[in-house]
Structure 1
Amino acid sequence: NGVDKLRLNPGNIGGRQHVEKVVDCARMHHTPIRIGVNGGSLEADLRREYGPDSPQAMVESAMRHVRLLEAAHFSDIVISLKSSTVSTTVEAYRQMAKLVEYPLHIGITETGTPARGLIKSAAGLGALLLDGIGDTLRISLTDAPVEEVRAGVELLRALRLRRDDIEIISCPTCGRTRVDLMQAVKRVDAALPHGQGYLRVAVMGCAVNGPGEAADADIGIAFGSGSGVLFRRGERFAHGAAEDMIALLVREATAMLRQRRDEEAR
């Protein structure tokens, strides 16, 4: 059996007899079933009763099939309730989380191209995850699947639900900025030792406010005109030419990560 989990769409699976056939097969192969409600393919009677784009209709659709599976003595269940409307999806999951203890797979469906889809998914899934709702997730994009995975990992990192890599924070620039900060961030990011643990690194556009505004960073650099200042937790500890300070930042960050790994290994 090469299937880890299968999806049952309440809107098009058909009647009870079809569901029972799927349940029998899933039970035989020890395969979980995801009740995957899609706001665009709800049962006709629910669309008539609740109207289009209704979180209540999505929840009722899911609960109908929860009851069907439970009546067949099948409880290896996961539930998803996806709409292309962020607010509808969020409300549906919030209602469902109050009704069942089954795992919830969260996502916004049909979000479109990455530019729009990332924003819609972050808005909806971020709200749910901060509520403590969601056991697995998918960021649906009109793009290669690997980009969906990368986006999902970055969302978890942004919410600090996954702390496994360097987090770079940088300012939006202002009139005091005397450096091409976009290029500076790219250079620092490329030089840092990724994949060795969590560290918060700040790359700021000026030395006037940079260290203070990024005082919660483990380490950071603030640029002047051809120069840079390094700081730890807002406290300055080195100053010099920008190129030298970038190199020193990388060495210091590498040492901090090594020290953390050593402490965790004790």
Structure 2
Amino acid sequence: MRRRRRPEAEKINQERWLITYSDLITLLMIFFVIMYTMSKVDMYKFVNLSASLSQALYNQNQVQLKGLGTTGLIAAQPSAGPPGQVPPAPDFLKTPEQVAEERQLAQIKLQLQSFIQKQGVAGQVVVEDKPKGLLISLRDVILFDTGKADLKPEARKLLDGLLPFLAQVGNPLEIEGHTDNRPIHTAQFPSNWELSTARALTVLEYLQAKGIDPKRLSATGYGEWRPVASNDNPEGQALNRRVNITIERTSAINGPADQAPNLSGP
């Protein structure tokens, strides 16, 4: 008498091919990445391609395969960063110049953090690493009087202390002025646009007067339109009134013109 195969075992064997198929797709992705590595392509196109392939193949946190284990789930590595955002390129994808720049910016960040702690202004000055570059955010209370764009004496002292760090590299310096949503209407500043722009220009002119190459400098005023906190309370408004100095990455500057800018703010 012929022995019949158990249906469950047959079902398991039929679905084993999914594992092989997954391995094949992974190998294909690696193959195309290697092919692009061997060819001379634009670095940004390569990074975008690699990120797109990774997102397309591994955007699921779990893949269900029936008949494997008790849960039938294989955990996949979650993608890093918010959806749709291209992750930063790892060091092996960067040029030697980019690697050197990253190390230099990381060193400056550590030095700035130590300086801020020694000066006792940790609550007024914040240093953050952003995709665009190294961000130094200064609260307005340490720089200006309310509704004014003239530097306080302590602001000049603080900026003098920041100068050696800004002079370590020749990267462009972008200076941004920001306000809260409280309206202002004076002869000098008809709106927050004028106030934020005047404050950014004041900082720019001070840095230029202290020897920073003017070709490195740019200033922009954003008024109340790029808040980092809620304007519904005094605490949030205080955080929104700030001047940002960004030591820009040259890789971010020299990227393709059609690359979407980061508008989320610091």
| TMscore range, shorter length | under 0.3
Greater Rg over alpha carbons, structure: 2
Return the structure number with greater strand share: 1
Q: What is the TM-score with the length of structure 2 in the denominator?
A: 0.27
Q: What is the TM-score with the length of structure 1 in the denominator?
A: 0.27
